[in-house]
Structure formats: structure tokens, C-alpha cells
Amino acid sequence: MPYHQFKCSECIPERLQHAVDKGVDEDLTSALPLGYLNTIPGTISERGCAYCGAKHVIGTPMKNVIHLSHGPVGCTYDTWQTKRYISDDGNFQLKYTFASDVKESNVVFGAEKMLKKNIIEAFKAFPQIHNMNIYSTCATALIGDDINAVAEEVMEEMPGKKIFVCNSPGFAGPSQSGGHHKINLQFLNQWVGTGEPEIYSKYVINYIGEYNIQGDQEIMRDYFYRMGIQILATFTGNGRFDDLRCLHKAHLNVLECARSAEYICDELRVRYGIPRMDIDGFGFEATADSLRKIGYFFGIEDKAEQIIAEEYARWKPELDWYAARLQGVKMCLWPGGSKLWHWAHMLKTEIGINVVSVYTKFGHQGDMEKGVSRCEPGALAIDDPNELEGLEAMYELKPDLIMTGKRPGEVAKKIRVPYLNVHGYHNGPYKGFEGWVRLARDIYNCVYSPAHSLVHLDISKDEIPTDKGFVTRQMLSDVNLSDEIKNSTELRECTSDYDPIPRLRKKLEENLYTFPDPETGEWRQVPLEKLKKNKVVDVE
Amino acid sequence: MSCELKAKDRVGTINPIFTCQPAGAQYASIGIKDCIGLVHGGQGCVMFVRLTMSQHFKESFELASSSVHEDAAVFGALHRVEQGVDVLLMRYPDLKVIPIITTCSTEVIGDDVDGVVQKLEAGLLKEKYAGREVHLIPIHTPSFVGSQISGYDVAVKAIVEHFATKSDKTNGKINLLTGWVNPADVTELKSLLAAMEVDATVLFDIETFDSPIMPDGNHVSHGETTIADLQSTANAIGTIALNKYEGAKAAKYLENEFEVPAIIGPTPIGIRNTDTFLANVKKMSGKAIPQSLVRKRGIALDAIADVSHMFLAGKKVAIYGNPDLVIGLAEYCIDLEMEPVLLLLGDDNGTYNADPRIKALKEGVGFEMEIVTNADFWELEDRIKNKGLKLDLILGHSKGRFVAIDNNIPMVRLGYPVYDRAGGFRHPVVGYDGAIWLAEEMANTIFTDMEYKHNKEWVLNVW
């Protein structure tokens, strides 16, 4: 019996099949929890709603777009400023959020007229912005407002303005995942194919399922540009609305977060014949393999290998400094959807971390399939975890840290388990080679925090050590370390800047990249304005 | 020179100042001991409210969802409430109070939450939980009515109405309805009452929201106001509701239903309002104001003397947030010789124009002042960027941070939520201690700005 029976959930038998212990020699046929089923009310689950999955996770990272939620003000307010998806043009998407502010009379008499006023007001307040995403909410979906018709009307009256309507009310699915699905397909249906981009490289990709958390997209963009690859659009982090209208013109879809964005990839394959390539930007080997795969696809393996060699030389000694000190550290890897499988094996093989548990709030069975297969035997896998199960698991497994979201992190803190934020990151970006070193650094700082080492001491009962005025992280981490490692002149601590992104943006400004001409194959620079804002022509 | 009260003239909201009613009800429910609110609606209505709370307090609070999904939205979702109550009771053995908080979705589909509570009381609670004290309290907070403020007010009233039970004799206490405050405010209020030797039932006693990491056990943050406290509110010698818009409904209910006399307001922000609060306590309890408070007040006045006319006088301030907080701060700022030129209230409460404090501002201020209702942050930003509003300081919660950052205006983080500064909940704004902290924090924030902008920063050499 591979299922894991939580004591706290004995009274709700249907929870049993949502947690498994991965046994030795067990395969996935006997160790796969159920996933993406309706939430049991009152469990204090950690799931969000389909509105947030659409608007908050996927819609809002689009830059230079007015993000308007059609509903009462709370949906907008509550999801605003709780993420760290930056953009390279001033963070409008972080700073501004719009609500139609539906009131009781609108619920009774309909809210379409006021929605139209809202749209016009918003465009007038920000005349430099020409794109808008409108998101339905529970209230306006239930009263049956025809948002699409209102949007059409405004677009006719205000030429040049383009509005995407996302119908994904909060109740539309068991979790945020329902919203991911909806926004993927609705954006594709409404806007993909309406733009003709300028192609300036022989190698053209879409970068899908990447949200530029603390600059992840910009780290990866640097690698792609160094390979001479044109990124037609990123869905959606740091992505432009106009570029996203051109998704149909890429040679390859490079898919990062398959949980949230495989739908659009699969449809682009069906409708436009664009192949889907799943990649992993987390971890040295994973990133290297991903660049190699893309290199093979285009026949530019040498370019990929060159980048991998440069990046390994620059960053590997720093990763290894931390890996030497983090061997055997026990971690609960409790992210939202896909990071369990992006990270579990890389944490083990590259940093030496023992992932003792994985969970997913909104993942499907496929995520568990990948996640469980990449864990070591003994790992506890939980689908749609709830507060009491999380506590029980932490008491039982005694992890050295958990990697999870802000709020569950506060739960862990109270039982003396430190946490790292895997949604917004502590000090990201975490993608790519440099990012992975930053993650290792953050794990190290978390696990060997000298202040944290004091939490177990009960000054009323225990003998109080009085011999030290301070302790350093290394006094804690290097206790059992060999002299060879301690005195190594090769290994070194993380030298990445507090914010590495300005360096990458400066590099872009200096236009140091070259791309092969699509016709002649000649490698040459491309005008900077095209890199920053590619020309897109409207097509019918 | 005039003060004008007006409503925002746009229909939509660009960067909201408030969230909706269920959030206010949830904030009230976490103040009760052995209580977990069950929010009847989509999961986001809880998940993100809890996230905001955890951002503000750096703590996690227990709140549950009935997890309304698509089928329930079509066919009705009351069975999800029934299951949710059962699951909570099975798994949390100490749980006694479950407020059932409605949202826009479940109000639109017309779920009869009152009916399902009756059904559960007659069925599940009798059959499965016989002998266990359980209180189910329907709280109607559709998101398209009012705001987080009315949500809090409605919830406090529903909770008091559910519990308050008249007995033969008075409990000798004052009911203190604090309104939407921080743990440090409760500490300060308790200390004022303790100095006067007045016993109070605090709704809600949230000092323990600031909870520790202990060497063992789990120390989850939750309020300490008990069922017995709530029941005895009907037997108090009187009720003081500090905030007109956050708790006054319950105070009036106790007065009308049980003849517990109520005093509404003022929000004890600043010296003058704290004096009034103590006068009210004195009047209600018959207790004298002791020397220790004369001294405490003196220390506050001393601190104010150090900063007010030298640094704060003439400074133009914009204030936004919860209405009682904003009005209280504005009044205090005027006492400090500052000019609160713009007040932003984030909802469309039609009674603001009848608020005596707003009337007094309209009649009394000697500078140009605007009070905007139904306001959003664009009302602030647009005035700064496009209409020439010059500000020396902004007071408000963290959601408005970019207005301050992008326009280089110093800002003191106040109210809820404050997540971009550490430990905001640890500082009181009410009472004499609050007056000290506010005056000094405003001054220090202006000092940092003077240094950053090289604006007479050398003045501080000899201060």
C-alpha cells in the first residue's frame, strides 16, 4: 500500500489517495497520487481560484498592458502586488491594476455599460498604452455580462486599441490550473495569428510558460540571444501583447512551465505545426541540456556548447562551494505546480539536497508522475495539501528547510522550520547557471542562519552556552568538512550581484548580440529597437 | 480656504485602496479564540486575503474555504458549506466558532446560508457533535456592497448579535470595540485602561497576532476574545466603539437590545482624541484619570514639542486608508501644524457627509483641503503628476507605495496592510504612545528625505 495515511485526515477517507510514500523499487503505477480533483471544503487547502490562475499567474506578467478585472474591487486588490514578475520597460504591470468596481446596482441591472466606461477611462488615463486584458470574475460571469461584445464595441470606437477578453471566473475549476487552461486557449483563439512579425534570424522560437520572476526570462534571453536565436514572444513574462499575436510564426516552441502553458503549445502544434520542446531552466545540467536540445534542433550545437562552457567556467566553482556544504540537507519541496519536477533531481544531483517530500497545490497527475520519478525513495508526495497535513509531514520528516510560498512559510516558521520562497523567490532570479548559484546561496543562508540555530534552545530549562558572542554560517556548515574542501582555492562563494538584471539590460542596450540573417545566414547585429520592440504589422 | 468633500468622478478603479467585504469579515473572525471562518465562495477569496494578512503580520492565520467550483455555481453550493463545517469540526477538536462568510458568487446564486445553518444545527450538530459547543454564524458580505470596512462592521455586529446574552447582573466591564487595528494598538489601549483600573472586554483582543517562535510546540497566531467574553457583552456597563465605521453597528445593537450605553468614537489618534477617549472612559466607569497617565501624556507632549513647529509645521500631507484612521490622522496632523490637504477614503459610504468630524473639517480648516470618497490611488497620483499637487508626506498602507516611490515623496507606512516595511504592526497609532510614534516617525521620515535630497540636511547638525 503506497498511500500515506495522514492521522489528521483519517476522518476524510477521500484524502487517502492524494498522498503516497515512494517506496524502494516502486514504480509510478503504485506510487502516484490523485491530482486536480475538486477540493474538499473546509480542509484549509492552499489552492487559489481560476481567476487568479488566469489573471494573476499568466495574464498580468504581460508588460505594457492595462489589466482590468471586471467585478467587485476585491479580486483585483487582493491579487495586486503579491508577485515579482518584472519587466524591462518600467514594471507597469506590477504598479497598476484596474477594477471595474461592480456594485450592487450593476449586479441587478447588468454591468456592461459601466464596463465600457471603465475601458475608455483606463485608456484615457494611460494614452501611451494600447492593449488591454479584461478578466471576468465570479460576479460578472454569474450575471452573464457579454464582455466580448463590449470589447468589440470599444475597439471599433477606438481604432488602434486591442483588447483581449479572458473569461475565467474564480469558480471555473478546482484550482488556479483551470484558469491557466482557459487563458492559454482564449488568447490563442482571440489574438494569435493577427500579427505579422519581422523575422531577423534564421532561428526563431517562442518562449512559453516563463513569467520573468525576478528576471528569469532575462537570464534565459541572454543565452538564446548568444545563440543567435530570435525570441518572437515570451508567453508571458516580460512579453509584449503585439509579439504574442505572432506566436504562430515561430519555428519552435520552447516550453518551460508545462503545467501552466502546455495547452497553448499543443494547440500551436495542431494548428500551425510548430513543434513543442520542453526544457528546464533550473539547474546547471538541466539548463545545459536544454540549450543543447535547442542547439540540435537548429543545428547550432557549437553555439550551445560554447555558452555552456563559458557559464560552467564562470559559475560552477560557486555552485560547488555550496554543494560541498549542503550535502544531505533535508528539504520539503512544496511549490505550486511544476517546480517539484523542475527541481527535485537537480537539487539532489547538483547540490546534494535530499528532497524528503514534494507537494503540488494545483498540479495534475502528470506533474506528480514527473516529480515522483525524480525523487529519491522514501519521499512523501502530496497532492492538494492542507494546513494540518503540512504540519504533520514537517513534524514527521523534520526537514532542515522547506521551499514553498509566503504563507505556508509562516506556518513552518512557527514550528522552527525555515523557508525559502519558491514562488516569488528570496533573492532570485533562480534560472540559468547564475540563478542556480543564487538558489544554492539562498538555501545555504537559510539552513545555516546563525540566528535560526538558536530557536531550539529553551533558556528556562536547557544549559545556556555562554562561550560565544557570535557564530558565523561557516562555523556551522564547515564542522565536518574536509580540509581539502575548506582550503580549496577553486571553490568560491556566490559573486552574483544583488540584482544581476541591470547588467543584462546594459548588455542588451550595448547591442552585443549577433543573429544569422534569415536569407543569407550572415551573422550580424540587429538594430536595437527591433530587439526591444519588434515590428508587428496587423493582418486579417 | 476651504475643505471639500467629493466623490471620485470616474466609474472605474485604478489601483484600489480597499478590498471587498469578505476580507473585513475575515479580519474580524481571526480575532476570536477557537474560531475558524469558513468563506463561502471561490478559493481565491480566502487564499489571497490570508496572503495579505501573512504579508502584513508575517504570520499565518487559519481561514477556510467552501471551495465553490463550477458545478456548485450552477446547482447551488450549500452542500459545500455542510461538508466544510463537518470537515473543520472533525479535524480541529478545539474549534467552537465558525462564521460562515458569504461572497459575491454565493450571494448572486442566492445560497440560503441562514437556512443551511438551521439545518446543520438541527441535524449534523445534534447527531454527530452532540455535547460539543459549536456556533455557526452566518455573515452576509457580498463583495459588490460596501467595502472591507463595512465587511468588518457587519461581521462584528453579527458575531455580537449571535453571542450577547443578558444576565441578571452587570459584569462591571466596558466593551471596547477597537475597530480594525494592530496588536500594538490593543496593547496601548489595554495599558490606558489598566492605568485607570478599568476592566474591559476587548473586541477583538489581537495582541497575540504577534506570536513567537518557541523552543517547542506550535504557536499559531490567533485572537484571544472568548465566547464567554462575547456573551457577556450584553452585561457591560457600557460600550466604547472607537471607530464609527468599524464596530459601531455592534455597539448600537447592544444599546438598543440590552440597554448597554454606547459611545461611538473618537478614534483615539493624537493627544486630543486620546484625552476624549479617557474622558469617555472616566464618564462610563466613574474612575479617575491617574497621575501616571498625566505623566505619559506629558512625555508625548514633550516628544511633540521637539518636532512639531520646527519640522512638521506647514508640511502638506495626503492620507488614505480606513476612514476612521484617516480622519483621526488628519485631526492629529492639524494639531501638529501640518496640512492634510488630501484625504482619500476608498469606498462610497453615503454617510461620510454626515460625519461630524468631516463637517468640522469643512468648517474649520484654514487651508485648501479635499476629501475624496470612493477614491482610488489614481486620485492621488493624477493630482501629483498632472494637477500640480505638492506633497511633503504621504500616510497610508503599502498598496500605495509606488505613488510615493515614483514621485519621490516620503511616506510613512500606516494601517493595513503594511508589507514593505518590517514590523509595522508593532507600532501603535492610538493613545499617547501612538502619538509619540506617529510624530517621531513622520519627522524621521522627513529627515531621511532631507538627507537623500540634500534639502537643508545640515539643519539636523545642531538639532
| Residue-range domains of chain B with CATH | 3-14+293-462 (3.40.50.1980), 21-146 (3.40.50.1980), 174-289 (3.40.50.1980)
**DSSP symbol at A56:** I
Predicted TM-score (pTM) of this structure: 0.97
Pairwise CA distance, residues B36 & A42, whole Å: 10
CB within 8 Å: B215 and A175: no
Work out the widest C-alpha separation in chain B, in whole angstroms.
75
Shortest CA distance from B68: residue in chain A:
A171
CB within 8 Å: B104 and A457: no
Shortest CA distance from A106: residue in chain B:
B144
Measuring CA to CA, which residue among B83, B76, B69 is closest to residue B38? Answer: B83
Pairwise CA distance, residues A485 & A320, whole Å: 10
Q: Which of A40, A44, A73 has its CB closest to that of B18?
A: A73
CB within 8 Å: A101 and B11: yes
CB within 8 Å: B55 and A38: no
Pairwise CA distance, residues A102 & B12, whole Å: 9
Pairwise CA distance, residues A218 & A259, whole Å: 21
Residue B147 distance to chain A (closest CA, Å) = 9
Q: Which H, E and C letters describe B287-346, residue by residue?
A: CCCCHHHHHHHHHHHHHHHHHHHHHHCCCEEEEEECHHHHHHHHHHHHHCCCEEEEEEEC
Residue window 330-369, chain B: list those with CB within 8 Å of chain A.
Answer: 348
Is B48 an 8 Å CB contact of chain A? yes
Cβ atoms A190, A244 nearer than 8 A: no
The A98-99 sheet, strands edge to edge? A162-166, A131-136, A66-70, A98-99, B13-14
Measuring CA to CA, which residue among A225, A224, A227 is closest to residue A256? Answer: A224
CB within 8 Å: A142 and B108: yes
C-alpha cell at A272: 500551425
**DSSP symbol at A367:** H
Is B128 an 8 Å CB contact of chain A? no
Pairwise CA distance, residues A317 & B112, whole Å: 64
Lowest-confidence range among A204-208, A283-287, A375-379, B372-376?
Answer: A375-379
pLDDT value of position B54: 96
**DSSP symbol at A45:** B
SS3 A478: coil
Shortest CA distance from A103: residue in chain B:
B144
CB within 8 Å: B47 and A95: no
Residue corresponding to grid cell 552556552: A465
Task: Give the torsion sign (CA, A222, A227, A232, A237).
Answer: negative
Residue B363 distance to chain A (closest CA, Å) = 32
Query: pLDDT digit string (tens) for A307-320?
Result: 999 999 999 999 99
Query: pLDDT digit string (tens) for A232-243?
Result: 999 999 999 999
Neighbouring CB atoms inside 10 A of B421's CB total 13
Q: Which of A8, A11, A170 has its CB closest to that of B42?
A: A170
pLDDT along chain B (463 residues), means of 10: 92 98 98 98 97 96 96 90 98 98 96 98 98 98 98 98 96 98 98 98 96 95 97 98 98 98 97 98 98 98 97 98 98 98 96 96 96 98 98 98 98 97 97 98 98 96 90
Q: Which of B10, B42, B91 has its CB closest to that of A388?
A: B91
Pairwise CA distance, residues B85 & B93, whole Å: 12
Q: Is the pLDDT of residue A141 over 80?
A: yes
CA B118 to chain centre: 31
Is B31 an 8 Å CB contact of chain A? no
Indicate the pLDDT class of residue A221, thresholds 50, 70 and 90: very high
| Chain A residues within 8 A of B211 when measuring between CB atoms | 414
Pairwise CA distance, residues A151 & A376, whole Å: 51
Q: Could you tell me how many CB contacts below 8 A there are between chain A and chain B?
A: 243
Q: Which of B16, B67, B105 has its CB closest to that of A41?
A: B67
Cβ atoms A70, B144 nearer than 8 A: no
Residue B202 distance to chain A (closest CA, Å) = 26
Mean pLDDT value of segment A248-262 = 97
DSSP B354-376: G-HHHHHHHHH-SS-EEEEES-B
Cβ atoms A90, B123 nearer than 8 A: no
The pairing of strands A523-524 and B393-396 is unpaired
pLDDT value of position A1: 54
The pairing of strands B174-177 and A203-210 is unpaired
Residue window 80-99, chain B: list those with CB within 8 Å of chain A.
Answer: 80-81, 83-88, 90-91
Mean pLDDT value of segment A442-465 = 97
| Chain A residues within 8 A of B129 when measuring between CB atoms | none
**DSSP symbol at B208:** G
Disruptive mutation site among A39, A66, A78 for chain B (greatest number of B CBs within 10 Å): A78
| Chain A residues within 8 A of B69 when measuring between CB atoms | 38-39, 171-174
Shortest CA distance from B48: residue in chain A:
A78
pLDDT value of position B74: 81
Residue B447 distance to chain A (closest CA, Å) = 27
| Residues 6 or more apart whose Cβ sits within 8 Å of residue B299 | B432, B436
Pairwise CA distance, residues A459 & A477, whole Å: 24
SS3 A353: coil
Pairwise CA distance, residues B34 & B227, whole Å: 9
Is B407 an 8 Å CB contact of chain A? no
| Chain B residues within 8 A of A79 when measuring between CB atoms | 44, 48
Q: Which of A42, A52, A410 has its CB closest to that of B44?
A: A52
Task: Give the torsion sign (CA, A63, A67, A73, A78).
Answer: negative
C-alpha cell at B283: 464618564
Pairwise CA distance, residues A375 & A369, whole Å: 10
| Chain A residues within 8 A of B14 when measuring between CB atoms | 96-98, 122, 125
State yes or no: ipTM above 0.90: yes
pLDDT value of position A132: 98
Is B66 an 8 Å CB contact of chain A? yes
Shortest CA distance from A52: residue in chain B:
B44
| Residues 6 or more apart whose Cβ sits within 8 Å of residue B283 | B263
Measuring CA to CA, which residue among A248, A105, A175, A421 is closest to residue B44? Answer: A175
Query: pLDDT digit string (tens) for A5-50?
Result: 999 999 999 999 999 999 888 777 778 899 999 999 999 999 999 9
Cβ atoms B346, B320 nearer than 8 A: yes
Residue window 273-332, chain B: list those with CB within 8 Å of chain A.
Answer: none
